[in-house]
Amino acid sequence: MPSLYDRYPFLMNYFSSENVSKISHCILFFGSDATVQYELALEVARLLNCKEGGAQNCECLNCRWLRENKHPAVRTVSRVDYKPADDKTKTVISVRQTQEIKKDLMVTSDYHRVIIFCDRDDDGNIQGINYRVFQEEAANSLLKTFEEPPSNTTFIFLTKDKTDMISTIVSRSQCFFVPAQSEETRDISLVSGVMQGYMSRDKNEVWDLKDELLNIIKENGFTPTINQVENYLNSLLKSNYDNAQLRQKLLNDLKATALAKKQDLLGIQTAGVIENLAFALFEV
């Protein structure tokens, strides 16, 4: 299986070792694939804990612990995980569990604590949490902690949809859509090099972008190239779902891509079509 970095380049770029210390202390992953969300959560925990730069193959103690999911400061909380012995509830993350979390957080830690909230099905597979398993009373008892956590503490919530979560948690979290594997495997290999960072390129590079795209088209054809540009923009859109400004920009760029396809069908010369597209992509 390809690494998370190959499967989710946009997300992993966001959580890269340079950025990871700046991320919010409440993170919410949503989407249909809870297993991948869990894998991402552990990788974020690894990047937060590695003190040697967070390379993918790092062999430091923190990274090894995280790979085996037995890091002492990284906890999974579900209706079956992290249950105090005297807690007999089986269907919910209980208030008793939240008290235990708060008690744990009072002790200072040398590590970066990451607490992952999720659910499990009867076979023990990771699932997203929802209202039924993480009910208002338990969630509310942690709200203050989510708002002002002790230092070196990050909470990660896994859920299918933001509407499955109590809104007070959603509003305190930085939310990321995690596309299911099949949605993400759309190929972008031809254009990723050219498209990467296109929004931050200098204005006068618009002609370079045009030429670069035309070169790819010369070798691979118009439709495969433009489809990959579309895939690229869609992936970017999905991983920046919550940034209203970026979302609008990406929607405009997707419109420009659709227009390019239409112009091609109408028989308009490829150089002209791509020139229009390049100018649209460079528009702020």
What does 231-243 look like in DSSP terms, one character per residue?
HHHHHHHHHTTT-
> 3-32 mask for Zn ion (x: CB under 5 A)?
------------------------------
User: Binding to Zn ion by residue 44, rule CB under 5 A?
Assistant: no
Place of tokens 């919410």: 28
Point out which span in 52-60, 203-211, 236-244, 267-275 binds Zn ion (CB under 5 A): 52-60
3-state secondary structure of 202: coil
> 63-102 mask for Zn ion (x: CB under 5 A)?
x---------------------------------------
CA dist 85 to 82, 104, 123, 124, Å? 9, 15, 21, 19
CA 182 to CA 33: how far, in whole Å?
10
Site size toward Zn ion (CB under 5 A) is 5
Give yes or no for a contact between 38 and 160, defined as CB atoms under 8 angstroms apart: no
For residues 66 and 281, which CB has a smaller minimum distance to Zn ion in the complex?
A: 66
For residues 58 and 126, which CB has a smaller minimum distance to Zn ion in the complex?
A: 58
User: Binding to Zn ion by residue 50, rule CB under 5 A?
Assistant: yes
- Helices 95-106/136-147 angle, 10° precision: 20
Point out which span in 50-58, 105-113, 167-175, 193-201 binds Zn ion (CB under 5 A): 50-58
Closest separation between CB of residue 169 and Zn ion, Å?
Answer: 30
Sites for Zn ion among residues 188-217 (CB under 5 A): none
Point out which span in 56-64, 123-131, 167-175, 211-219 binds Zn ion (CB under 5 A): 56-64
For Zn ion, the binding residue among 41, 58, 118, 188 (CB under 5 A) is 58
For residues 45 and 142, which CB has a smaller minimum distance to Zn ion in the complex?
A: 45
CA 135 to CA 123: how far, in whole Å?
22
Angle made by CA atoms 117, 121, 126, in degrees to the nearest 5: 45
User: Binding to Zn ion by residue 52, rule CB under 5 A?
Assistant: yes
Q: Which of 147, 137, 153, 140 is nearest to 172 (CA)?
A: 147
Binding site for Zn ion (CB under 5 A): 50, 52, 58, 60, 63
